[in-house]
Amino acid sequence: MNLTNLSPLGLLLGALALAGVTFALQILRVRHREQRVVTTMFWRQALQEERVRVFRERFRHPLAWLLITAIAVLSWFAYARPSIDREPDMDVVVLVDGSAQSSVDELEQDLATAAGIARGLRNDERRVFVLSSSARCLLDSGEPVALLEERAEALGPASTHNTIDRVLPGLVGTGDRPLRVYLVGRQDLRSDTVETVQAARGGEVEWFRVLGKRGDEPADPAPSAEVLGFGVDPTFGVLATLRGVEASSVQLFFDGQEVLEDPAVRSVSVTAEGVESLLELSWSSPSAEPGELELSVAGVTTRATWPGQTTTNVALQFGASSSAIRAAFRQVIESDATLSIVAEAASADVTVGDDAQADLRLVASEGGRSTFHFQGLGPAQLQRIVTRTGLSDLDADALATTLGRPVTVGSEEVGPRQVSIDRAVFDGDARLLESRVFPVLARESVHWLANRSSAPRRAAVGVPIDDLAGSSIARLDRGASDEITRIETLGLPFVPSASGRHRALEGQEFEVSLQTSAFVSAGLATTAEIEVVDPPTQGPTLGLDRWLLLIVLTLGVFEWVSVRRGRMP
Amino acid sequence: MNRVSVEHLTDPAFLASLQPLRIVARRVVRGGRHAEHLSRQRGSGLEFADYRAYTPGDDLRAIDWNIYRRLGRVFVRLFEEQQDLPLYVLPDVSSSLHFEPDSPRARACLQTTLAIASVSLNQHDRVGIFPFAEELRVHEAPTSGKNRVLPIARRLAEVEFKDQTDLCSALRRFGAMNLRQGLCVVVSDFFDQKGADAIVEQLGQLRHRLLLVQLFRKEDRDPDLQGDLRLVDSETGEAENVSVTPELLQRMQTAYDQHQQALVDFARTRSAGFLRIDVDQPIVPQLAQVFEEGALQV
């Protein structure tokens, strides 16, 4: 017996409904039909005689009771959705393209096609997923198809690319049973993905493409001009990835000025099998000021916001005995395009040194003071700053052994932001300067002291950002600073689900692009040939629960007819 | 309106079918009018009754001179006095006779009343009609005359069927009228809430000869009822929730039979007539069966 698709609340409500129905039947049963007679005195005498004779009401209408009991029990049994335990013949996975490649109407048609496929299959052998940046299960095995229609009601295409090649191997997993995969829509599948899945499933995999109503539409003979991705990445400078586009038809504007002629803007055109042309547009040294970017391809304009690039001035104030440390900090700061070294502390945003007034200062060991101390930081943010500065990756045991005392990280909420580091960690055998943690610690500490985020980072849809685990992420509207969505990652790595500008709780902003290296390589890889088939026309199969409901219905009709004919009270 | 159409009562065929019927009284009490029934009173009738010795003042025309010639004594002949038999009809006009479609009980009640009244009127008897429900009313004071049939029919059509049956009170009131002894015909279903014993007790106190005409339908005893029912009394409006089972139905029939038996036993012991009329059947043929060879002996 399968009750897995019922929540406890649903089960309770069902039981109450059943109780209500039987109660209503009982009320109907004791409701007497009115009949006028010439006199009731003989009936009254008969009833008085009957009441005197018996101690309790006799068991009346055994046939009616049996019928009601059968109806109630069969209803309850059907509600429990019993199923005969037998292994399904095969696993069927139905994949619907929910990425930006599908329009709203197309997705709606594809979902209807998927529901039709699901109806023709046994409940325990099919699953339906909609694919965008990740795979979302619309119908798990054993669930009724009605759930799919309910879940798909508010579903629309996501502003992401399709990650079918990345998620499909994980979806189908491994197993001994044959596998059948329905690709609904025109989503492409790489040949190597097909090979990976077939290897995992022992080769017994059938691939079908179902176009549904799309099959009535003429297929695109060749990819038309299409902007696969358009985003801003100041670090790497990649602006857009275009397919089916000639470089001569591309125009790039920054605040209304065409910048495609800028030598810093370059385009790379590649050709691969299955893809006529793939154009990657880059801008290696964008403007420091914020502005609006417009990409025009064959008359179609796409816009994005360039947040600008600001520089933090850092002054290094170390004594002569700290030349090695000074050099290490200088190297770190110079490697960050958003940090700049100035000579005068007065013109610096952040000062680093062994001076007592420095924002990031090296201090002598004191009893009871933390090895790494952050002033102006609440205890709630301590864990986050430990992660951000790389201290979480520090080999604290080895360092404590070297120092001969525990390595601690502390914080103090009161006071301006200041970072104190026990100087001992740079001396002797501790060698923090040589640790891989130091560059992160130095750079992120400076950014934190400047109350700025790190340099805008590159992020891509569907690619997890581990160091934003447990953060609260705000998605910002394109071209505006209004927050439209806030995402709580609940301790898990943040996985961008849509392109656009985002901002973390710490103020760090980053642009999420549609493009990833995997995406580009997908365009370059060979696309698998999938056989196009018509949607399966097999009608829905009647499960045991449906048969039980039919029996209940028949019994109900029988009772109604019996009551109407006076054969049953 | 809870009335019966006058056409049901003045149908010529119905009235013509009543002509062969007559009521014959074995004896009527003295003091009535001259009519067709033999009286205990000796008088100027046609039927010879007896002789008695002449006394001064006797009608000389009554002297039997043949006796005088043979015996030398003067005797006068006595003849049976033929007087009328007053008829008092008590039709039941309670609502229990007028709750069904077409009201067959009410129609049968009034047709029976009119039929018996018509027979008596044709015999020059005086006929009084006293409909009753909760109370007894004088609808037609006892009068005679063959030409009164149609007026009585029209008056009967004006009778409204309503209220409960209180036959006991009606009989008590009728007995208190102290009318001349005659034939009292009660036309009713005899379904009085006080029961058959109370009815019989009141009937026994009447000085009149009695003819009980019970109106019935077959479903009164054998109702075609099944299931859980809310039976509503046609008179009182009181309801009884019953689940009809064969056992309960049998007990109801037993109660009905006991009620009937009480009436039959009374009629037998009192030498009263007892007539059951199925209201769903034509009235006159059923009456004719009771008027054996055209005459009802009372």
What's the pLDDT at A4? 46
What's the pLDDT at B170? 94
CB atoms A40 and B228 under 8 Å: no
Chain A residues lying within 8 Å of B237, measured CB to CB: none
How far is A138 from chain B, CA to nearest CA, in Å? 52
Q: Cα–Cα distance between B185 and A460 in angstroms, integer? A: 111
- Closest chain A residue to the Cα of B258, Cα to Cα: A42
What's the pLDDT at A219? 47
- Closest chain B residue to the Cα of A33, Cα to Cα: B229
Tell me the residues of chain B between 98 and 157 that have a Cβ less than 8 Å away from chain A.
99, 105
Both tokens of A158, joined, read 């996501």
Q: Provide block-wise average pLDDT over 10 residues at a time, chain A (569 residues).
A: 56 71 62 85 86 58 76 78 66 84 80 85 83 82 83 74 77 80 82 83 82 57 49 52 66 77 60 51 63 71 66 87 87 79 89 89 82 87 82 85 87 89 84 81 87 56 67 62 59 70 67 52 56 65 75 88 74
The dihedrals phi and psi of B158, each to the nearest 5 degrees, come to: -90, -5
Please indicate whether residue A300 or residue B273 has the higher confidence score (pLDDT): B273
Chain B residues lying within 8 Å of A42, measured CB to CB: 252-253, 255-256, 259
Tell me the residues of chain B between 179 and 218 that have a Cβ less than 8 Å away from chain A.
189, 191, 193, 195, 217
What's the pLDDT at A293? 74
> Which H or E run includes B34?
strand B34-53
Q: Which residues contact A89 (CB under 8 A, 6 or more apart)?
A: A122, A125, A177, A178
Q: How far are the Cα atoms of A16, A240, A458, A486, B66 from residue A502, in angstroms, in the given order?
A: 47, 18, 11, 9, 154
Is the model's pLDDT at B187 over the cut of 90?
A: yes
Q: Spell out a b/e string for B100-123, using b for 16 or more CB atoms within 10 Å of the CB, else e.
A: beebbbbbbbbbbbbbbbbbbbbb
What's the pLDDT at B39? 54
What's the pLDDT at A115? 87
Both tokens of B114, joined, read 């009119």
What's the pLDDT at A323? 85
CB atoms B255 and A45 under 8 Å: yes
Chain A residues lying within 8 Å of B231, measured CB to CB: 35-37, 40, 43
Q: Which parts of A125-264 are beta strand (E)?
A: 126-131, 135-139, 179-184, 205-210, 226-230, 238-243, 250-254, 257-258
Interface A–B counts its CB contacts (< 8 A) at 93
Q: Cα–Cα distance between A278 and A433 in angstroms, integer? A: 44
What's the pLDDT at A52? 58
Q: Compute CA A437 distance to the chain's CA centroid, rounded to the nearest angstrom.
A: 31
pLDDT band at B279 (very low <50, low <70, confident <90, very high): very high
Tell me the residues of chain B between 18 and 77 that have a Cβ less than 8 Å away from chain A.
none
CB atoms B242 and A43 under 8 Å: yes
CB atoms B228 and A42 under 8 Å: no
| Strands, sheet with A250-254, edge to edge from the N-terminal-most edge strand | A257-258, A250-254, A291-297, A300-306
Give mean pLDDT, residues B135-143: 88
CB atoms B248 and A37 under 8 Å: no
CB atoms A36 and B99 under 8 Å: yes
pLDDT band at B93 (very low <50, low <70, confident <90, very high): very high
What's the pLDDT at B271? 87
Is the model's pLDDT at B181 over the cut of 80?
A: yes
Chain A residues lying within 8 Å of B248, measured CB to CB: 43, 46-47, 50
CB atoms B231 and A45 under 8 Å: no
CB atoms B226 and A46 under 8 Å: no
pLDDT band at B184 (very low <50, low <70, confident <90, very high): very high
Both tokens of A249, joined, read 């038809």
- Terminal CA-to-CA distance of chain B, rounded, Å? 36
Q: What is the DSSP string of A59-100?
A: ---HHHHHHHHHHHHHHHHHHT--------S-EEEEEEE-ST
Q: Compute CA A9 distance to the chain's CA centroid, rounded to the nearest angstrom.
A: 27
- Name the 3-class secondary structure at A527: strand
Please indicate whether residue A497 or residue B208 has the higher confidence score (pLDDT): B208
- Closest chain A residue to the Cα of B255, Cα to Cα: A42
CB atoms B220 and A40 under 8 Å: no
Q: Cα–Cα distance between A270 and A274 in angstroms, integer? A: 12
Q: ∠ CA(A116), CA(A120), CA(A121), 5° rounding?
A: 120
Q: Which residues contact A91 (CB under 8 A, 6 or more apart)?
A: A125, A126, A127, A172, A175, A177, A178, A179, A180
Is the model's pLDDT at B262 over the cut of 70?
A: yes
What's the pLDDT at A519? 43
Which of A27, A29, A42, A50 to mutate: most B Cβ within 10 Å? A42
Angle between helices B246-270 and A41-53 (to 10 degrees): 120
What's the pLDDT at A247? 66
How far is B202 from chain A, CA to nearest CA, in Å? 20
Give mean pLDDT, residues B241-267: 92
Q: Contacts for A362-366 with beta carbons within 8 Å, 24 or more apart?
A: A362/A322, A362/A325, A362/A420, A362/A421, A362/A422, A362/A423, A362/A426, A363/A420, A363/A421, A363/A422, A363/A423, A364/A422, A364/A423, A365/A422, A365/A423, A365/A424
- Name the 3-class secondary structure at B39: strand
